[in-house]
Amino acid sequence: MVTISNKLVSIDTNIFVYFFQQHKQFGVAAKSLFELMAQKQTRAVTSIITLTELLSIPTSEEVTEELTARFLETPNLIISEINQTIALDAARIRRLYGIRTPDALQLATALFHKSDFFITSDQRLKSFKDLSIIILNQTTQFDLPKKS
């Protein structure tokens, strides 16, 4: 089990996709994270770029509206705008690590907010050493509080 209770975690777009789509392989692991957030056991942050990435898939207007609402209503989630500090740090991350711009913006957002962990399923981000990276896989489970 991965312990993230009482921590600030940053969440990559792919984790939202797995949760919202109830992904067969990663949905359970993503759900355990969002349950912790709903129970106020952990707080999360993501870049506003997540909304752009979520809504870029070809789908109906109805599904787009539903995804938007679910994303914006996610409990204990800070949706961070991209400011100059984040943009400059994202450029540094791109230069040093060769990471794509959307991922660099997500990582810079995590650093800006002083996140304890960055949660993703993107194996390429393991090379990033400025922050603890949690790679979500089908066996990942976050520590849900025990029910009494």
Task: Tell me, rounded to whole angstroms, the distance of Cα 93 from its chain centroid.
Answer: 18
Q: How far apart are the first and last CA of the chain?
A: 19
Domains and CATH numbers, the chain: 8-135 (3.40.50.1010)
Give the sign of the dihedral formed by CA 122, CA 123, CA 129, CA 131.
positive
What letter represents residue 146's amino acid?
K
Q: What is the pLDDT of residues 16-52, one digit of tens each?
A: 999 998 888 888 889 999 999 999 999 999 999 999 9
Q: What is the pLDDT of residues 67-118, one digit of tens each?
A: 999 999 999 999 999 999 999 999 999 999 999 999 999 999 999 999 999 9
The whole model's pTM is what? 0.92
Tell me if 67 sits within 8 A of 20, measured CB to CB. Answer: yes
Distance CA 13, CA 5 (A): 21
Pair of tokens at residue 16: 């939202």
